[in-house]
Amino acid sequence: MNTHLDSGLIRQFKAIVGEDNLFTDPADCLPYGYDNSRLQATPEAVLFALEHDQIVAIAQLCHQHRIPLVTRGKGTGTTGATVPQQGGIVLSLERMNRILEFDVENRLARVQPGVTNKQLQDHIGEEGFFWPPDPSSAAVCTIGGNLAYNSAGPRAVKYGTPRGNTLGLKAVTGSGDSITTGVRTTKGVVGYDLTRLLIGSEGTLAIITEATLKLTPKPQTKRTLQASYRDIHSAANAVSSIMRQPVIPCALEFMDGAALEMVRGFSDLRLDSRVGALLMIEVDGSEHSIRQDTDALARAAQTEGLLEIHTAETQEEVARLWKTRKALSPALRNIAPKKINEDVVVPVSCIPKLIESLQNLSQESGITIVNFGHAGNGNIHVNLLLDPDDPKQLEAGEYCLKSLFSLVLSLGGTLSGEHGIGVVKREYVEQEIEPVSLNLMRAIKRQFDPHLILNPGIGFPDTES
């Protein structure tokens, strides 16, 4: 694959996007060569597209000359999926940031991929709507990135992921062909579901240039509960209890004892030393039913080991609780020289077994393991904290990682819920997906991207060159 851009190619790219939307100086390109995984590789050029037709022209030129083309938004991903490992071009979509349509009557919005999650929520919120996906990086992450990873956040337990909240897409394939997928209606079964195929494909099949999103009316009211437990087993059992009853929480977040210790220094949790795990439970709905629904969730949370359950009384208190949860991940990165963050998913009923096994693994390996995440759908963020300058800790960390993945698969789970595979997990994909399915995926990749230029080396082991 061609990874050298001569002056003639640079002139052609400049003619497509304009001089102000092209970087070639390594110092300018450097910030676009890494993401939140801390992996880094400097691209030969960075292009900023402003419209669909420019992306068509860029993809056609890269296809013709077999130039790697890596697409990115704001770089908040954690798996290296937007790091140009094979050089070539980084295509930034951050300047394609317009909300093209907001159709209140049909409850949909049509947006460019560079629109941030917060920008969208603020815009549609004025008319009483929201888009359910709400990852912790919502203030800065883009809709295109949310779609590329199928990133969801706490609300997924009730409202689903981007796959369930996206009606259709406009995109450009690796050969530079324009495609339109999906519908503008909430039902439709004509042809294969290419919309859901592209969502979560980490930019390896096509470049999303426009998305038609299904919007949800804001609930009339909401309540937030905090339940503290003696230990992680008690909290995990409470999760199963909560998810067995009819009222579905709009968020059910879990923090283990190690996570709580990490945040005590910067957040006023007001918890005594007996607390070994915490659940944050949120319920939304109509004014006339919210008290009954809140009481139902509170009763379900009262399993053995419960120390206290408290309902937030003010918006300030609610904000304080959520600030603690959303600040946890970056706090861990600051505390540990190296944080390996895995977003595994297991069936809800298997959460107690997962947590118990991780405790044992931490004791066995000597590696601190901190667990938190979206417990309502079994999506637990497992954080291995270690010193990268200590060879013994690095070896122990690798052992923990392999043991974690084997454990998750043995419980009927999956290696990633919303962070994707990228570079960091690709070598483990064969443990979850059998060879026949992998070969089908490679064939699909070839149909969308014949020369394998889009985000090369990302997503799953690729034996082709």
Residue 204 lies in a domain: yes
Rounded to a whole number of angstroms, the CA Rg of the chain reads: 23
Residues 120 and 210 in one domain: yes
3-state secondary structure (DSSP) of residue 296: helix
According to DSSP, residue 379 is labeled E
Residues 297 and 360 in one domain: no
Residue 459 lies in a domain: no
According to DSSP, residue 435 is labeled H
Only one residue has tokens 């694959």, namely: 1
Residue 437 lies in a domain: no
Residues 116 and 89 in one domain: no
Q: What is the residue range of 347's domain?
A: 336-429
Residues 105 and 212 in one domain: yes
**Contact predicate 370/256, CB 8 Å:** yes
Residues 24 and 89 in one domain: yes
**Contact predicate 376/247, CB 8 Å:** no
Parallel, antiparallel, or unpaired for β 89-92 and 45-48? parallel
Residue 165 lies in a domain: yes
Q: What pLDDT is stored for residue 136 in this prediction?
A: 85
Q: What pLDDT is stored for residue 465 in this prediction?
A: 42
Residues 228 and 305 in one domain: yes
Residues 265 and 193 in one domain: no
Sheet strands side by side (includes 221-229): 306-311, 221-229, 277-285, 251-256, 368-374, 379-386, 338-345
Residues 64 and 48 in one domain: yes
Residues 110 and 212 in one domain: yes
Residue 379 lies in a domain: yes
The pTM of the full predicted model, rounded to 2 decimals, is 0.93
Runs of H (alpha helix) within 383-428: 391-410
**Contact predicate 311/224, CB 8 Å:** yes
Domain stop point among 41, 67, 94: 94
Domain stop point among 187, 217, 247: 217
The count of other CB atoms within 10 Å of the CB of residue 406 is 12
Q: What pLDDT is stored for residue 233 in this prediction?
A: 87
Residue 457 lies in a domain: no
Q: Report the distance separating Cα 363 and Cα 90, nearest Å.
A: 42
Residues 354 and 401 in one domain: yes
Domain of residue 58, CATH code: 3.30.43.10
- CA 224 vs CA 80, 279, 281, 309, 313: distances in Å: 34, 10, 6, 11, 8
Domain stop point among 217, 247, 265: 217
Domain of residue 312, CATH code: 3.30.70.2190
Q: Report the distance separating Cα 189 and Cα 174, nearest Å.
A: 26
The count of other CB atoms within 10 Å of the CB of residue 288 is 9
Residue 238 lies in a domain: yes
Domain of residue 420, CATH code: 3.30.70.2740
Report angle CA 353, 359, 360 to the nearest 5 degrees.
90
Residues 19 and 76 in one domain: yes
Residues 231 and 329 in one domain: yes
Averages of pLDDT over each 10 residues, the chain, 465 residues: 82 97 97 91 97 98 98 93 95 98 98 98 98 93 97 94 98 98 95 97 97 98 94 92 96 90 68 88 96 96 95 86 69 69 92 92 94 92 89 93 96 94 92 95 97 92 58
Contacts of 248 (CB under 8 A, 6+ apart): 157, 158
- Give the number of domains in the chain: 4
Q: Report the distance separating Cα 343 and Cα 354, nearest Å.
A: 13
